[in-house]
Amino acid sequence: MAGAATNDDFVLMVAQEVSAGIERGLNYWMGRIELEVVDRSLSPAERIYALEQMLEEYRDAINETPFDWAPA
């Protein structure tokens, strides 16, 4: 029984770390998007271009991961 509790604790710890990592990543990208959208020094076209560049950066970042992704 003690082994089951230890396994449950380990799974919970890993799940919390994964969740925290996802939250950090989401906050990073959403924060960057928000900064571009509210930047009044950019024209609407410049904002769209900035967002497109950010999406390219994101795609490049996830394409460098060592994991295989399931096709959509």
Condensed to tens digits (0 to 9), the pLDDT of residues 3-62 reads: 666 888 999 999 999 999 999 999 999 999 999 989 999 999 999 999 999 999 988 888
On whether residue 55 sits in a domain, the answer given is yes
Whole-angstrom distance, CA of residue 62 vs CA of residue 58: 6
On whether residue 7 sits in a domain, the answer given is yes
On whether residue 26 sits in a domain, the answer given is yes
Asked if 36 contacts 49 with a C-beta cutoff of 8 angstroms, the reply is no
| pLDDT, position 61 | 85
On whether residue 70 sits in a domain, the answer given is no
On whether residue 44 sits in a domain, the answer given is yes
Asked if 36 contacts 54 with a C-beta cutoff of 8 angstroms, the reply is yes
Whole-angstrom distance, CA of residue 28 vs CA of residue 64: 18
On whether residue 68 sits in a domain, the answer given is no
Structure token pair of residue 55: 């999406």
The whole domain housing 10 covers 2-63
On whether residue 69 sits in a domain, the answer given is no
On whether residue 72 sits in a domain, the answer given is no
Instruction: At 40, give phi and psi (nearest 5°).
Output: -75, -5
Put simply, whether the predicted model's pTM sits higher than 0.85 gets the answer no
What's 15's DSSP letter?
H
Counted domains in the chain: 1
